[in-house]
Amino acid sequence: NIGLAAHNKKYAVRFTKGNSRKIMEYMKGSMPIIGPDYGEFTIAVKEERCGVVVSEWNSKDISKAINYLLDNPEIASEMAERAKHAFERKYNWNVEKEKLLSVYKRAIG
């Protein structure tokens, strides 16, 4: 019931530019998210208040975050709800498609 995105920054930035489809899938699935404190993940989680940001690959921070969400099911549920709403409102293909088409239209003139 918790989406864990324990990414290695060196690897993630090298191969994915710090983006993760996994995070959006967790949002879509109405899960509170635990993930590393860098990149777009941090921006989305902090803006939407839908998860917990932890130090990258720090097992103590990750376990504290997991226990926090498990010990506070009401907070976890609120985060999950905000994640789902953020996905529906902002982080989905229909929204991104319009942004992309807008760029193409401006480029074409």
Q: Tens of pLDDT along 46-72?
A: 999 999 999 877 889 999 999 999 999
Confidence (pTM): 0.81
Q: Could you read off the pLDDT of 81-94 as tens digits, one per residue?
A: 999 999 999 988 88
Strand partners of residue 52: 34
Nearest to 11 by CA among 52, 44, 39: 39
- On whether the CB atoms of residues 41 and 108 are closer than 8 A, the answer is no
pLDDT at 13 over 80: no
Structural contact between residues 51 and 83, judged by C-beta atoms closer than 8 angstroms = yes
The per-residue pLDDT for 12 is 58
Helix or strand (DSSP H, E) at 39: helix 39-48
What local confidence, expressed as pLDDT, does residue 73 receive? 98
User: Which amino acid would we find at residue 77?
Assistant: S
- Residues 13, 105: Cα–Cα separation, whole Å: 30
Round to whole Å and give the CA distance between 65 and 82.
Answer: 18
Element (DSSP H or E) covering residue 53: strand 51-54
